[in-house]
Structure 1
């Protein structure tokens, strides 16, 4: 089994165990044996992977998006996950635009201060990264609001 397959199977197992095997069976409509095959590292199950709709259902019920995170890591993508964002009230596109402009202004102010001496230190880079992640969150909210408003 390739390293990528093994890595995905380990994260699939973590997802099932996070939700609980009984709950995972109910959410996916799959048996314990079938779920076990999805994360088994036995040669006869090396080509079996959990269907994406089952992954989505389990990740919605889990504390962490194990498989999505693993897929992102395999592609060299960094995800920012914040549990407290799930229950934030929706404010719509107009408030997203305001939040985006405010966040961008904070990023530019942080950048201006960081580059003042001609060198961006590690701490300054961390602050810039934090601001860019906040902008990313606002853009994601905006995207979701726009998708919800379009037919």
Structure 2
């Protein structure tokens, strides 16, 4: 790809898409498991989630993203696409005022994602420097932690009580 092309997405947004793809694949049981529900094999699925330089420009086609989201049981990739465009995804019939996710699930998500971000950063800093691959991986993990915190923040802001 020519470096003088103007893209409408940022590197951080593309990293969020990669992170969402990886999260959806994990929640669907992994690339080897979900390959049977798509038209591609697990190596290609893994490449769609890879933040490595070699695969940074490869993204999951929409039909496969739909299949992976269905296999994961929730619209992980679709919700990320919506958020990147400033929209919030809700199931049909759920109003904005509908009860949000359970507190313990939200807190578990924050704990898990921030721990994963911390581990990624500590591993990257083990040799005293962060290389390009490590930086991309850390950005993905920090972005996932940020999403978990934003979900908690939204729940707190929408809550009139502590139940």
* TM superposition score normalised by structure 1: 0.52
Q: Give the alignment of 1:1-151 within 5 angstroms.
A: 2-21=11-30, 22-81=32-91, 129-130=96-97
Computing the radius of gyration from Cα coordinates, the structure with the larger value is 1
Residue-pair matches, total: 87
Q: Is the 8 A contact 2:29 2:72 kept in 1?
A: no
| 1:45-80, Cα deviation, whole Å (9 max, x unpaired) | 111001100011122222221110001110110111
The structure 1 segments of at least 4 consecutive aligned residues displaced by more than 2 Å after TM superposition are: 128-131
Q: Secondary structure at the match of 1:64?
A: coil
Q: Deviations over 1:78-134 (max 9, x none)?
A: 11137xx8xxxxxxxxxxxxxxxxxxxxxxxxxxxxxxxxxxxxxxxxxx9428xxx
Higher share of residues assigned helix: 1
Map Cα deviations across residues 29-48 of structure 1 (whole Å, 9 max, x no partner): 32221111101111111110
Structure 1: segments with no counterpart, 5+ residues:
86-127, 132-151
